[in-house]
Structure 1
């Protein structure tokens, strides 16, 4: 009975954390044990249930989105993303970092029970359009959490003199409501400043760092910036991990476009397009793919040709790179 009790506990924990692979693995262990005991019908039923559940598309478990109220409604934008990890095209090392964050969050109860906090304070830095906001959306989707976006430059300009108090309101929500909290345009707060506003900026930054230090590990706090070089160096050690984004290489660029085109690109050659994709961000590549797709569909066709891709990339480069 002790072994079965441990297995049931493990199943409950994995179910609560959204870790389907562990849940199914433990269920199959229970089935194997029952088969050894001669309970073949029960073992078969468990295996069938596991197989049937695995065959189902993943369901999101987010309940009705908790819309911000009062002061919080002025500070954050609420959303319920639907972007899977498989949609995210990143270099292997960066992809592995995202997977590790997901794994620690799914096992957060085990970690917390042993005195360890899961990674929950992340700094995302890199050029615009390279996947920072998409990563936040993926974390929210995969963990079945709502996402709240705080645009810091707007917060600073709208509530100058009240910013520290408004930040406290957001971090109070971090403690009360498990979610992904994205502080966008973080360089508006974290810039290494000089001049007349240095005193006020330093007070705001210090307040943020205090709140970040005490942030609940039940939520994820993400700060996104396009300008790592202007950030105060003291910031980096305050985060559990720094995720560095860059423009995609030729292989990643092709993967981004194919992902957006879907079945429209089946059988279409996209080899040796590096000269056309170089310097374009993930977001710009998606726009190019959408342009090619719309041109094809409006012609009444159902397959994108290589020339369609080349034309769309050429136009995008002209618009983006001048």
Structure 2
């Protein structure tokens, strides 16, 4: 197959040049190809081999930057996340989309050489606690980049009246320092407004759209919102990708809980537990798992039961709907 032959050629070239990032990106593309062909076991084996190799190989190319200074220091916080793609429990379709974004970023120079820009402006939307912020951390970790989180609370309060000029400072940072830039709770900035503040809000939004449109492909700008319906419609066409998150179905809910419990959950009757996970986000499920685990450990036991989890899940559901 010609496509597979090209992948093998790319593997050899990346290995010869010592480009680990490209090597892994091509390997993950081969895994995705095999998955599409129905060879799920082979695809999973390739993914596991890539992950194991990444863990065993020192991360030589991590971009470590000093804390931002001057105006930028008041507007962003910086972190170097250690959460990987395999830590994110999402649908197969979502995982493939994230792998595609990572692959395009890892091969951005080749794409740009032929006039194609990698995906670098991403809107994440969905209910709270479904993995949007974690996705930004995963992108940063997988690309060995710092994660810059824009402090929209400061931007929209302390600097009200000069928000547009401060946005320019942020996007100057996007251009100057390669990284993942997260605008969390983005609806505070991008909501469609009406009323007395409509003039100022429109100026802020128009400034953001201009800056976003002109942002280069080396950094990734991520906007996350829980309220897609209130966003200004002009925003959507300015993003290269819009990823929609939802509450996990029973299968994914169990996967979230199992991953958090580890060996503590070996004896759990998961089919029983899955019937009690409705209407809970990823974050809620993690909290419920942690609550059950702590109760068990404080009893002097080492195994969580289905009953322990059901109690914690019901308590979390009750708290969520209060």
- Give, in whole Å, the separation in 1 of the partners of 2:208 and 2:124: 16
Partner in structure 1 of residue 315 of structure 2? 315
* Cα offset, 1:18, TM superposition: 5.0
CA RMSD after TM alignment:
2.5
* Cα offset, 1:54, TM superposition: 3.2
Partner in structure 2 of residue 204 of structure 1? 204
Q: 1:113 to 1:316 in 2, by over 3 A?
A: same
| Secondary structure, counterpart of 2:19 in structure 1 | helix
Instruction: Give yes or no for contact 1:147–1:179 (8 Å, CA) kept in 2.
Output: yes
- Give, in whole Å, the separation in 2 of the partners of 1:135 and 1:99: 11
Q: 1:158 to 1:93 in 2, by over 3 A?
A: same
- Give, in whole Å, the separation in 2 of the partners of 1:12 and 1:70: 42
Partner in structure 1 of residue 269 of structure 2? 269
Instruction: Give yes or no for contact 1:257–1:286 (8 Å, CA) kept in 2.
Output: yes
Whether 1:92 aligns to 2:88 is: no
- Give, in whole Å, the separation in 1 of the partners of 2:302 and 2:65: 37
| Secondary structure, counterpart of 1:209 in structure 2 | helix
Instruction: Give yes or no for contact 2:122–2:242 (8 Å, CA) kept in 1.
Output: yes
Q: How does 1:290-305 map to 2 (within 5 A)?
A: 290-305=290-305
Instruction: Give yes or no for contact 1:79–1:148 (8 Å, CA) kept in 2.
Output: yes
Q: Deviation digits for residues 103-146 of structure 1, max 9, x if unmatched?
A: 11111111111111000000001111010000001101111111
Partner in structure 1 of residue 24 of structure 2? 20
Partner in structure 2 of residue 165 of structure 1? 165
* Cα offset, 1:17, TM superposition: 4.1
Q: 1:242 to 1:56 in 2, by over 3 A?
A: closer
* Cα offset, 1:8, TM superposition: 7.5
* Cα offset, 1:198, TM superposition: 0.7
* Cα offset, 1:66, TM superposition: 2.6
- Give, in whole Å, the separation in 1 of the partners of 2:10 and 2:93: 35
- Give, in whole Å, the separation in 1 of the partners of 2:277 and 2:10: 52
Partner in structure 1 of residue 32 of structure 2? none
Instruction: Give yes or no for contact 2:14–2:23 (8 Å, CA) kept in 1.
Output: no
Larger radius of gyration: 1
Q: 1:63 to 1:223 in 2, by over 3 A?
A: closer
Q: Deviation digits for residues 283-304 of structure 1, max 9, x if unmatched?
A: 0110001111111222222221
| Secondary structure, counterpart of 2:270 in structure 1 | coil
Whether 1:134 aligns to 2:160 is: no
Q: 1:187 to 1:264 in 2, by over 3 A?
A: same
| Structure 1 unaligned blocks of 5 or more | 26-49
Q: 1:15 to 1:206 in 2, by over 3 A?
A: same
Q: Deviation digits for residues 134-173 of structure 1, max 9, x if unmatched?
A: 0001101111111000132431111001111111111111
| Structure 2 unaligned blocks of 5 or more | 1-8, 30-48
Count the aligned residue pairs.
Answer: 293
- Give, in whole Å, the separation in 2 of the partners of 1:190 and 1:204: 8
| Secondary structure, counterpart of 1:276 in structure 2 | coil
Whether 1:234 aligns to 2:230 is: no
Instruction: Give yes or no for contact 2:11–2:23 (8 Å, CA) kept in 1.
Output: no
Q: 1:311 to 1:197 in 2, by over 3 A?
A: same
Instruction: Give yes or no for contact 2:81–2:140 (8 Å, CA) kept in 1.
Output: yes
Q: 1:109 to 1:14 in 2, by over 3 A?
A: farther
* Cα offset, 1:16, TM superposition: 6.5
| Secondary structure, counterpart of 1:273 in structure 2 | helix
Partner in structure 2 of residue 181 of structure 1? 181
| Secondary structure, counterpart of 1:304 in structure 2 | coil
Partner in structure 2 of residue 29 of structure 1? none
Partner in structure 1 of residue 38 of structure 2? none
- Give, in whole Å, the separation in 2 of the partners of 1:12 and 1:278: 50
| Secondary structure, counterpart of 2:201 in structure 1 | helix
* Cα offset, 1:219, TM superposition: 0.5
Q: 1:160 to 1:22 in 2, by over 3 A?
A: same
Partner in structure 1 of residue 150 of structure 2? 150
Partner in structure 2 of residue 40 of structure 1? none
Partner in structure 2 of residue 54 of structure 1? 53
Moved more, 283-292 or 59-68: 59-68
